[in-house]
Amino acid sequence: MTVAFAVGSAAGVGLAATSVAKAGGLDTAIDEVDGRRPGSEVADTVIAAARRGDHQAFTALVSHYDDRLRVLAFHLLHDPETTRDALQDAYVKAYVGLSGFRGESELGTWLHRIVYTTCLNHLRSIARRPGPVGENPDVREERDEAGRDPADAVASALDLESLLRSLPTEQRAAVVLVDALGVSYVKTAEILGVAPGTVASLVASARVKLRRALTTGDAPTTLKDRTEAS
């Protein structure tokens, strides 16, 4: 089972629509989007200028990868404002660290790694943040749902985005990178900081959980418990 994502405009940080389809395996996963290799499209002169601190060159460099980075960040954080904050932090880190970039990995892989680790830091910060005293979690969830852009609202309990939220962060990142963005297992491993074999396991586990939810009709809150219990 391959997860197929229909990604809307990244300008609003949201996903206009999501769908799940059955297709072949990803044994030959590629790092291409629309037949092009993202890692080879930024000219070396632009990268060199950005490394020297040229703001215009850095903006051009980041703009090239922004849509893909924004999709990854949004799927991890699930909130437009938090996604914008995390990306801003990540881009500052990239600007500061670019002078030390030596090309051991592709530039796009390096940027995805920075965004991923920055999102993890934001998630840890959110987890440590105390909720309002005495607030019913169900009420808070309803309030959060009401405040979302209708274009990005979850259509049903079995909407793919809702199901993705039920996955552990690392599994969610792996399946988004591999199935949504077409990143190879090797480069996904670089981004997540794990072995390629671990990526294969993460993606396989995520697909099993998503397929189980789609075939059994489990709600996302039940999905996690049933999967971990099996």
Give the pLDDT confidence score for residue 217 in this predicted structure: 62
- In 10 A of CB 211, how many CB atoms? 14
CA distance linking residue 219 with residue 227, whole number of Å: 12
Both tokens of 168, joined, read 């552990």
Please report, for residues 36, 139, 151, 202, 226, the alpha-carbon distance to residue 156 in angstroms, rounded to integers and kept in the order given: 34, 18, 13, 25, 20
Distance, C-alpha 21 to centroid of its chain: 19
Give the pLDDT confidence score for residue 95 in this predicted structure: 95
In DSSP terms, which residues pair with 33 in a beta bridge?
36
Q: Walk me through the domains of the chain, giving residue ranges and CATH numbers.
A: 10-127+158-229 (1.10.1740.10)
What phi and psi, each to the nearest 5 degrees, are found at residue 2? -110, 135
Distance, C-alpha 189 to centroid of its chain: 14
Distance, C-alpha 102 to centroid of its chain: 25
- DSSP per residue over 157-208, as a string? TT-HHHHHHTS-HHHHHHHIIIIIS---HHHHHHHHTS-HHHHHHHHHHHHH
pTM, to two decimals: 0.69
Give the pLDDT confidence score for residue 159 in this predicted structure: 64
pLDDT < 50 regions, the chain: 1-40, 133-146, 148-158, 219-230
| Closest by CA position to 2, among listed 25, 18, 28 | 25
- Contact between 158 and 222 (Cβ < 8 Å): no
78 φ/ψ sector (left φ>0, alpha ψ -120 to 50, else beta): left
